[in-house]
Structure 1
């Protein structure tokens, strides 16, 4: 009897994302999708083709193991990014060859029901397509961005890659897991006969069940250095309502160095009296959770762009899990899940005064704000907890097979 038949469950393999199990939004989504399958009795495996970690004192784990029930392996034979052009490329080649070998071994032992791909580079997707054809395993796209609409991907080569991906390569998948209605509709237009399952933000709400600690009151914004426009928007909105600066603004900015973060903090506080804006970067996940839980409100203005209408930021799920109110704008998926002044505070447009008005509501109405936060958390548990999504994901794989 085939080993998979003896196991009596499905086996889902994730490819394309390196760094597991350490990382923020993309790694967290992958981890929670894998755990969603596990909650339904399936087996999940993550294969990383290259090492991406650089800090050996902070990141240190085996190249093969199990994390939260998920098997993983690094086919590059190292979790670290090598120094030097030649060493990096040798590792990449070793990792790519190892990916196929790992898939072939898993196929012949436990079996593989589907490969879920998280990848934006066309060359790698084409390689995975070849693997899937040879091994006769269906390939599904983890569809979380309209790649060609991402403003920071502006180089000519990236633009060409993204055009080919969004218009042609996407058709090579046997199915897709779009994160938003806009991506569901887009995939259906390109591949009307292929299945897709809307898979929104995913969160483990239990991880945020931590005790609040006494801190000064603050708003919290989490973003990336590459989203300068949104970061500046949040700062400008804060300045409109922070007349006495008693409510602070904490900002977690990923992707910048310590020196860049310190320089930015000095710059944004220059016109203020008490240095109310504090910046954090590269903090441990446990510290991040504590900052979420202690905040008076969590900020995420979405812009009226194709990019923001198509995506559904992972941190919204984490914001909700904190039990504190979310302040956002009425763009994209927000209207599908949230109700203004009941489960979130929603500015009708991406406008400084409109957004600042919702921030001011938090300052003026602390008790009502707490209720909104609790309602948002309850809604999030019913819509976005990984265990609630496991059954639909499992059925999608059954139908695909």
Structure 2
């Protein structure tokens, strides 16, 4: 039992509703709570679907608190910053449990938004664990000037404050090698990949009608939405009998809205709550993770890949990062060249022309999901790391 462990998960992610980051944290919470650990969530600035004025609550046995809702450029920024840091430090003091192993789990490592809290937690006797899921030095979206300053500051903070970590979790082999060089043997480092609960014993019976191609997630440049649209429209024009369903949210969605509106075979359904979201994925005929080949895309590991594989439906995935570490082409997934419109179009055509073979690939992908991305296995890895601190 882990009753001697108290873990505070901190970061700028949606909670309890949200996308990849939220689900990664929730899987860790589920495992630790099931092992009788004490857990809480400190959300830095509200994101996702959050009710106005809702600053705290409890979800599946975990107390959570949101701070920083009033942080906006203007005359109120200074008092809002003071209140933000006061509230965060107060939560860390209140949630610290005497006589047990207190851990601050910082999703995303050290940033301008959390460095004060990391320093305060260290003084309060917390062990610090950084969860690194991206290499932000290679971010390839266009950023505003404040955004560029934020990412630059993050690189500087990472360089000077990485030594505060007592343990580091990374999501990919790229990041394990990168941070392994930075910390050498001085800090325990653990690779914990994506996770997904796989319940697909058999693929759902396909409904008659056009092939449903699905993308769900963010709409950042790394996600290759433009290439997916190009490929889909090429196949649609050549063969017909297919529709593209897009789900998710992000500032870049508006860039694609005119194109979506111009094609009745492309549908954007917006953000879906968990239950509707998983029904949406299960109802797909083909699921797409069509990332670009940028260093930024290769550094991380798409969380949605695990959720796609878990459905038992066939998945088209770009050959980025650790994909081939876990999956084989045409056995567990259809792996395509990153950023290649012709490769994506060819994979879509294959699924149209060979639905039975594609279905077998989907079920093999579900087997690999159970083997490599089991949330219980990942939770056990995290608990083992915490016990080593």
TM superposition score normalised by structure 2: 0.87
- What is the aligned residue count? 383
**Shift of residue 88, structure 1, vs aligned partner:** 6.7
Residue deviations 1:1-55 (CA, integer Å, cap 9, x gap): xxxx9x8331111112353112111222221222232233322211224444676
Measured in 2, the distance between the counterparts of 1:229 and 1:323 equals: 22
Give the direction of change, closer, same or farther, for the CA distance of 1:261–1:365 in structure 2 (3 Å limit).
same
Measured in 2, the distance between the counterparts of 1:299 and 1:336 equals: 18
| 1:280 aligned counterpart, secondary structure | strand
Measured in 2, the distance between the counterparts of 1:121 and 1:196 equals: 16
Measured in 2, the distance between the counterparts of 1:262 and 1:198 equals: 37
Is 2:224 the partner of 1:236? no
In the alignment, which of 55, 71, 94 is matched to residue 83 of structure 2? Answer: 94
Residue deviations 1:247-300 (CA, integer Å, cap 9, x gap): 111122412599776534124x2xxxxx21112222333222222101111111
- Show the counterpart of 1:203: 196
| 2:365 aligned counterpart, secondary structure | helix
In the alignment, which of 346, 355, 359 is matched to residue 357 of structure 1? Answer: 346
In the alignment, which of 207, 218, 222 is matched to residue 224 of structure 1? Answer: 218
**Shift of residue 348, structure 1, vs aligned partner:** 4.3
Please identify, of 207-216 and 134-143, the stretch whose mean Cα deviation from structure 2 is larger. Answer: 207-216
In the alignment, which of 11, 33, 38 is matched to residue 16 of structure 1? Answer: 11
Please identify, of 99-108 and 198-207, the stretch whose mean Cα deviation from structure 2 is larger. Answer: 198-207
Measured in 1, the distance between the counterparts of 2:313 and 2:231 equals: 19
**Structure 1, unpaired ranges of 5+:** 270-274
Measured in 2, the distance between the counterparts of 1:256 and 1:166 equals: 26
Give the direction of change, closer, same or farther, for the CA distance of 1:399–1:55 in structure 2 (3 Å limit).
closer
| 1:368 aligned counterpart, secondary structure | helix
In the alignment, which of 276, 285, 291 is matched to residue 296 of structure 1? Answer: 285
Give the direction of change, closer, same or farther, for the CA distance of 1:184–1:228 in structure 2 (3 Å limit).
closer
TM superposition score normalised by structure 1: 0.84
Residue deviations 1:149-181 (CA, integer Å, cap 9, x gap): 111264341342243145443343222110000
- Show the counterpart of 2:167: 175
Please identify, of 166-175 and 255-264, the stretch whose mean Cα deviation from structure 2 is larger. Answer: 255-264
**Shift of residue 68, structure 1, vs aligned partner:** 2.0
Residue deviations 1:104-129 (CA, integer Å, cap 9, x gap): 22224574431110246633343133
In the alignment, which of 18, 21, 25 is matched to residue 20 of structure 2? Answer: 25
Is 2:181 the partner of 1:186? no
- Show the counterpart of 1:247: 242
**Structure 2, unpaired ranges of 5+:** none
Residue deviations 1:199-220 (CA, integer Å, cap 9, x gap): 1112233599997784642111
Residue deviations 1:341-373 (CA, integer Å, cap 9, x gap): 111111245422222222211111111111111
Measured in 2, the distance between the counterparts of 1:232 and 1:363 equals: 21
Give the direction of change, closer, same or farther, for the CA distance of 1:348–1:256 in structure 2 (3 Å limit).
closer
Measured in 1, the distance between the counterparts of 2:369 and 2:309 equals: 6
- Show the counterpart of 1:272: none
Measured in 1, the distance between the counterparts of 2:379 and 2:267 equals: 38
Please identify, of 362-371 and 150-159, the stretch whose mean Cα deviation from structure 2 is larger. Answer: 150-159
Is 2:123 the partner of 1:130? no
